[in-house]
Chain A
Amino acid sequence: MAFQAPTETYKGVIRATDLGGVAIGGETAFPFHTFEGEMPNDPKLAFEVWDIAPDDWSPELEVILADVWADPVAWAKRAVDEFGAQLIYLRLKSTDPNGAAKASVEAAATAKQVVESVDVPVVVVGSGDVEADVDVMKAVAETLADTPVVIGNAEEDNYRPIGAAAMGYKHGVVAFSPMDVNLAKQLNVLLSQLGVDEGMIVMDPTTGALGYGLEYAYTVFERDRLAALAQNDAKMQMPILATVGQEAWKAKETKVTEEELPGTGDRKTRGLMWESLTAVSLLLAGANVVVLRHPESANLIRQAIASLKGE
């Protein structure tokens, strides 16, 4: 008798979510397990754009971005036109109170320009400062009242005002939680308790890069998806966004030269591998959107997605 591979069937489904014309989620099994369930939408590749020129990014990113990264509109256009970005992940880094500390309205105006200059959906997040982000996101939500985007990050300590801003102007919201399945769920519960439509929430459960907690991130993503699929937990069925580029290119291994780290091969290959291996691992664990920085690793990831789909 021919070998019959055992299969799992799940009760739950990941919410199919429309991010301004780009559909994500909707799967009824683990990613690429098309022998066990449906996967109506491919995972999407987003590109990270800042509203201020980064000063500590790897030289490998500088080579390809330095001519545009002082101009977020040009940067976003290049990501869409040349890198094939399906979404733009715009970080309003200029609003960091410990950095440039730009005014919220100014940053929101930049966000509007970026949104108007590209034809893909945009996720707009603040600098990551829990207090400052509240003001920034209120301004963004209001400025972009006519163009729905996804705003963030809503965290446990600022989910009320940011969730309210998203609700008030009908934007989606990124729910950002520390790397723990319970904390992720708790934030989703709090947001929906606040009245945010569960179909408007995208989870960012915190990403760990290769060598910097990837195994842990993988396990947490996987448990998030198990709760959604196997336990049919409605509060865990939101799609997942993973900030892969940010974490991978933070690793020392993507920044230092071969002379400084002998025996590790050339820096560019190292960086691309770091980003693409982290991304593919997390796509397998359940990420619906990976946010990237380098176009060549995006190419590698696209190939991996195609081969995982059996194409």
Chain B
Amino acid sequence: MTQRYTLTFQPGDVKVPDVPRGESVLRAAMQANIHINASCGGAGSCGKCRIKLLSGEVDSDRSAKIDDDEWSDGTRLACNTRVSSDVAVFVPEASRMGNAAVLERELRGERKGRLLTPAELESLVTGWTLDPVVKKLCMQLTPPSDGDNLNDLARFRKALKDQFGLSSVSVDSIWIRNMPSVLREQDWLVTATVVDTAYGYKAIDLEPGSHCEQDYSVVLDIGTTTVWGQLLDLTCGATLAQASAYNKQISFGEDVITRIVHSQRPGGREQLQQAIVDTVNEIIDELVESTRVDREQITHMVAAGNTTMTCLLVGIDPKYLRMTPYVPPADFIPPVRAVNLGEGLKVGRHVHVYTFPSVASYVGGDIVSGIVGSGIFETEKITLYIDIGTNGEVVIGNREWLIATSCSAGPAFEGGGVRHGMRATDGAVETVRIDPQTLEPTILTISNRPAIGICGSGIIDAVAELLKVGAISQNGRFNTDLDTWRIRETDGANEYVLVEAEYSGLGEDIVINEADIDNLVRAKAAIFAGIMTLLESVALDWADLEQIYVAGGFGKYLRIEEAQAIGLFPEVDVDSFTFVGNGSLLGARLVSFSKDMLKSAEQVALMMTNVELSDNQLFMDRYMAAMFLPHTDMSYFPAMDQVLSGLAAGGR
């Protein structure tokens, strides 16, 4: 358990509770909406975020920006000063841009939505027991003798029946070839791998000796951009390791449509299948290397992906997915042998890959998996589930009904289509605050590296802050009458300079321009309108939602207040939001652990109703209404309405 301390800022005596040990003073200040100047993203190079230590223990690095006298006098840089006790600091005038009111900004406290710990995430679903669909059974067979001359196969099947109660178990012809010697290799001690199929149990592998304690599975979330994998221990229900890699299909196109187009070229489908097989093999390599698990002891694989990714993995022609009326090739795809995919996944030849059933062309197994993994299928609470990615998938419902849709948000949330956008990796601007008087920004980057770009949450932050300080209008256009050099025109387009060249890792200014804002507005409008359309199709309103689950790698960096300020979500209670991280992986994991969950996944797919948005007039109308910051209908945004009215009264 991390220790938590209270950090006090002077002047103003603003107390920030619950600051975890090791948190930088700058980050804690920003989360409490206290403005301290910082231009370099927390890299310690601009020297603007000076504070003076008044009391308490901190862990602080020396900086060339602070001379010996200042150091001994308690001067530190907020970005590289980490708390290790209750601490009080003084923010000097120079760090506040001469604005005495800074510290009097309202402290909004802990209103961030619930970010679950790994343990909490894994216990979102309660109604299951460890009972994998694939099991290893260790058996001591009685050797044949003159009085007991049963043949080898019948002897094996009899033992399955006598020792485990499994009758009429079918067998896989492949391993029978070596069965006689395998049975005798360790004196009739063998381990059988059996799988529970729709047609009864089937024995798929036989090993000499006892291997019941080594039974692993690999579960995958196959994203259009990123593939995640986990190695699971099926004997105890533990997650052993996690790995990720970019989907190698990216070189054939960034979105599902261009991949489908590529699959129609000669050899294209095979290229795409091999690309994902190579990606998964890389992940398996990493998983077994980091855990030293014998890859021959992997018995099961589960893959959750959108409909196109699932088709391409299995090798099904995805051509008709993008053609009206958008019918997917299959809802339930039978398990496929892993070694038969492309040039083969690098696991034992008995291992089968289970895929999640699809609902529609654009509501795929990844969403079904998310619904299973987040436990929505067993709750009575009316839940909104949103998976934010290049496609925003939205599900509303509970244990009794589920309705789903997919809206094309574009890549803005992942940093795509944005002048200085990037993925959420080191050096990405992830947090932005802008001083309402001076319009000077404070930024934080991931890993406190010099900024090299802006990731999704940074873009949302920047636009939300620009809007709140009146630097942009509700249509996303800059107010060029303001007294700041940071808003300027470059090549006919207005932009705001977020990081000056001298502090950026790029050697050039990092900016956010009107085209970037337009892309973000389109992305958030698509998701908001998708949710509105789904809600209206079941005659519900936001107020009827009892909980909101946000999934997606991006989700955990998202600050709900900023997402509400730009109108990605309405101003509903922040506490109703829960971040579940990679929901698809959660579901794949459960399905590998429990065959009941496999059945649940099938039920979820069957009960989920798809709403197609591509030709939906209501959606288009809701989309136009959402193409405004935060929205054309301000009744969903009373707090922002006040902020914006205040700006109008103040002449911005």
Contacts and interface: CB of A to CB of B under 8 A. Distances in A.
Interface of A: 156, 180, 182-183, 185-186, 189-190, 192-195
Given A180-B624, A182-B624, A193 B632 contact: no
Interface of B: 473-475, 621, 624-625, 627-628, 632, 634, 644, 647-648, 651
B287 to A, nearest CB: 49
Given A182-B632, A195-B648, A190 B624 contact: no
Contacts of B625: 182
A186 B648 contact: no
A186 B628 contact: yes
B475 A190 contact: yes
Contacts of B647: 193
Contact of A189 (B624, B627, B632): B632
Contacts of B474: 186, 189-190, 193
A182 B625 CA distance: 5
B628 A156 contact: no
Nearest to A189: B474
15 contacts: A180-B624, A182-B632, A186-B475, A186-B632, A189-B474, A189-B628, A189-B632, A190-B473, A190-B474, A193-B474, A193-B644, A193-B647, A193-B648, A194-B648, A195-B651
Contact of B624 (A183, A192, A194, A195): A183
Nearest to A192: B648
A182 B651 contact: no
Contacts of A186: 474-475, 627-628, 632
Nearest to B470: A193
A270 to B, nearest CB: 33
A189 B635 CA distance: 13
Contacts of B627: 182, 186
- Nearest 10 pairs of A and B residues by beta carbon: A182-B624, A182-B625, A182-B632, A193-B648, A186-B628, A185-B632, A186-B632, A180-B624, A190-B473, A190-B475
Given A180-B624, A186-B627, A192-B648, 10 more contacts: A182-B621, A182-B625, A182-B628, A186-B474, A186-B628, A189-B474, A189-B634, A193-B648, A195-B648, A195-B651
B528 to A, nearest CB: 13
Contacts of A194: 648
Greatest chain B CB density within 10 A among A156, A185, A189, A192 is at A189
A82 B621 CA distance: 44
Contacts of A190: 473-475
B278 to A, nearest CB: 47
A195 B624 CA distance: 24
A224 to B, nearest CB: 12
Nearest to B652: A193
A182 B475 CA distance: 12
Secondary structure call for the A interface: helix
Contacts of A195: 648, 651
A193 B651 contact: no
Contacts of A180: 624
Contacts of A193: 473-474, 644, 647-648
Greatest chain A CB density within 10 A among B473, B474, B621, B632 is at B632
A195 B475 CA distance: 16
B407 to A, nearest CB: 17
B475 to A, nearest CB: 6
B84 to A, nearest CB: 47
A189 B632 CA distance: 8
A14 B132 CA distance: 67
A156 B634 CA distance: 19
A156 B514 CA distance: 14
A234 to B, nearest CB: 10
A60 to B, nearest CB: 38
Nearest to A195: B648
A127 B231 CA distance: 68
A194 B651 CA distance: 8
Contacts of A192: 648
A47 B605 CA distance: 62
Nearest to A236: B632
A180 B632 CA distance: 12
Nearest to B621: A182
Nearest to A178: B624
B632 A156 contact: no
Nearest to B473: A190
A156 B475 CA distance: 8
A193 B628 CA distance: 13
A194 B625 CA distance: 20
B636 to A, nearest CB: 13
A155 B497 CA distance: 27
B303 to A, nearest CB: 41
Contacts of B475: 156, 186, 190
A300 B332 CA distance: 66
A11 B645 CA distance: 23
Contacts of B651: 195
A189 B473 CA distance: 10
Contacts of B624: 180, 182-183
B487 to A, nearest CB: 14
A22 to B, nearest CB: 29
Nearest to B626: A182
A43 B221 CA distance: 62
Nearest to B479: A160
Contacts of B473: 190, 193
Contacts of A156: 475
B174 to A, nearest CB: 62
Contacts of A182: 621, 624-625, 627-628, 632
Contacts of B621: 182
B265 to A, nearest CB: 40
Contacts of B628: 182, 186, 189
Greatest chain B CB density within 10 A among A156, A182, A195 is at A182
A217 to B, nearest CB: 16
Contacts of B634: 189
